[in-house]
Chains A and B, each alone.
Chain A
Amino acid sequence: MYLRNKRQLLAFVIIVFLTFGWIIPVRAGVPTEQLKEKIDAIRKILDDPSLKDMKPARMEFIMNVIESMVDWPEATRRALGVHWKKRTPQEREEFIALFKDLLKKTYSDKMDLHTGEEIVFDSEKIDEDYAVVKAKIINKKKGTDIAVDFRTLKEGDKWLTYDISVEGISVLNNYRVQFDEIIVSSSYEELVKKMKNKQGIGSPASPKTSKESK
């Protein structure tokens, strides 16, 4: 008699839980978790006051995190668009490295400008091996929020980013049009030259950039 009641109670609890379980909000999925991990790592370094004087080391750490987050061959292939086909394997390797350097430098600098802002992850959508993670960068002081989408691709058990959209502006598409323009109006070699020139300009630890924040 006693056992039966306990079992019935258990059955009842299970039925209720399972039937209404769908109302419980879904936990963040794997792509979001992985992204969060990387971004949190960067934020920790940026927000740590004791590391403020170690700019070059900080920048390097951030650049390494960014490097591990992105699917570089995929991003570069898409960025070169129709021009990727004609490139030799060596040219492709070279361009992937150049593109990587450009983006790492650009985005590690951008991270610095954003201290004091908060990034909040909204939702994600997974479609087999593609996932889009939607987030917002919130600046409470200025009262602004900026929508950021991360487009990711699954490689093994890692979700790597190949594009970021800020307020609907796809970074990848932006470079794609720039690269196309330069290749069509001059040449691929000219583009490579310009990319190499850029590497020499604006070092990551430039004091000017940190003064511009705020």
Chain B
Amino acid sequence: MKRITFLLSVLAVFAVLSHDRAALAQPWAGINQEDRSSEYAEETAHVADPLKSFNRAMFQFNDKLYYYVLKPVAKGYKAVFPEPVRVSVRNALSNARMPVRVVNCVLQGKFCHTANELARFAVNTTFGIAGLFDPAKSYLKIEKHDEDFGQTLGFYGMKEIIPITWPILGPSNVRDTIGLAGDTFTDPVLYVEPIVTSGIATLNVLNETSLTLGDYEKFKESAIDPYISLREAYSQYRRNQIKE
């Protein structure tokens, strides 16, 4: 009787210990050391932005463009087309960009993404009616992995170098601008007639704006210096995308 009790206690202790370890074995990395350190107090937050006056001017231009052109047109577009339709348009345009994602997946050696992307494309193009719906995501739970040439460059160690804000296109940097140029070789949209290309590009911008009306305004309200806020948000977002 005593032996059984002893054995039980040993097992209990063992089980409890392994329970704790399993609980702590999370799939993602632990808490950033930065949180603990006094880095915030010691290191400057300064970011090199030699083209700042140009960038700020472009930001102002884009800001005016949004309020005077993009937003009014998008509101009209939104009034005509209900949300499900616009979500479908988004899916179709995203589906068409599959080659960009796949090529860059391959370049980064992320083969599992490639298989998924091909599967998504096949499913969405057939059962999703040329990508208007996204059954691959809703029913098959295959997540889209967003890759582009800018991310590929970043993956291989290319730094942002300096931030650049382009008119219409918005915040970017040297690396991502080269990335955009690279994407033109893999984006099927650019292999059609120029007028169709610009039509699709315009539709994309219009559609996205209609689906996110209010976001830019909210964002501006939250910032003391919207240009800096956007520049940093873009930079962090890209860094996060490259890491994934």
* CB <8 Å contact, B225 and A178: yes
A202: chain B residues within 8 A (beta carbon): 221
A15: chain B residues within 8 A (beta carbon): 8, 11
B23: chain A residues within 8 A (beta carbon): 22, 26
Considering the chains assembled together, what is the distance between the CA atoms of A170 and B221 in angstroms? 17
Considering the chains assembled together, what is the distance between the CA atoms of A213 and B212 in angstroms? 9
* CB <8 Å contact, B239 and A168: yes
A137 to B: closest C-beta gap in Å:
13
Nearest B-chain residue to A201, judged by Cβ: B221
Q: Of A18, A191, A201, A209, which is within 8 A of B15 by CB? A: A18
* CB <8 Å contact, B40 and A77: yes
Partner-contacting stretch, out of B28-36, B114-122, B197-205 = B28-36
Partner-contacting stretch, out of B97-105, B174-182, B187-195, B227-235 = B227-235
* CB <8 Å contact, B225 and A18: no
A198: chain B residues within 8 A (beta carbon): 224
Q: A18-B15, A132-B31 are in contact. Are A84 and B237 (CB under 8 A)?
A: no
A167: chain B residues within 8 A (beta carbon): 237, 240
A179 in the interface (beta carbon within 8 A)? yes
B236: chain A residues within 8 A (beta carbon): 168-170, 173-174
A85: chain B residues within 8 A (beta carbon): 41
Q: Of A11, A113, A180, which is within 8 A of B44 by CB? A: A180
Considering the chains assembled together, what is the distance between the CA atoms of A142 and B82 in angstroms? 12
* CB <8 Å contact, B30 and A127: yes
Q: A141-B87, A168-B241, A198-B224 are in contact. Are A176 and B45 (CB under 8 A)?
A: yes
Q: A130-B36, A143-B134 are in contact. Are A168 and B229 (CB under 8 A)?
A: no
B91: chain A residues within 8 A (beta carbon): 143
Nearest B-chain residue to A211, judged by Cβ: B214
* CB <8 Å contact, B45 and A113: no
Contact mask A197-210 → B, CB, 8 Å, 1/0? 01001100000010
Residues of A117-165 whose CB lies within 8 A of B: 123, 125, 127, 130-132, 134, 141-143, 151
Q: A14-B8, A181-B228, A198-B224 are in contact. Are A22 and B43 (CB under 8 A)?
A: no
B46 in the interface (beta carbon within 8 A)? yes
Considering the chains assembled together, what is the distance between the CA atoms of A189 and B196 in angstroms? 53
B22 in the interface (beta carbon within 8 A)? yes
Q: A18-B12, A198-B224 are in contact. Are A169 and B35 (CB under 8 A)?
A: no
Nearest B-chain residue to A27, judged by Cβ: B23
Considering the chains assembled together, what is the distance between the CA atoms of A178 and B87 in angstroms? 34
* CB <8 Å contact, B225 and A130: no
Nearest B-chain residue to A172, judged by Cβ: B40
Instruction: List 19 other contacts, CB 8 Å, given A173-B45, A201-B221.
Output: A7-B4, A14-B8, A22-B23, A82-B41, A82-B42, A106-B222, A109-B218, A123-B26, A125-B24, A130-B31, A130-B36, A141-B87, A142-B83, A167-B240, A168-B243, A174-B236, A175-B224, A177-B228, A179-B224
Q: What 4 A-B pairs have minimum CB-CB distances, sorted nearest first? A: A168-B240, A212-B214, A18-B15, A180-B45
Can you sample 27 A-B contacts with CB below 8 Å?
A: A11-B4, A11-B8, A14-B8, A15-B11, A19-B11, A22-B15, A22-B18, A82-B43, A102-B222, A125-B26, A130-B31, A132-B31, A141-B87, A142-B83, A168-B241, A169-B237, A170-B236, A174-B229, A175-B224, A176-B45, A177-B232, A178-B228, A180-B44, A180-B46, A181-B46, A184-B46, A201-B221
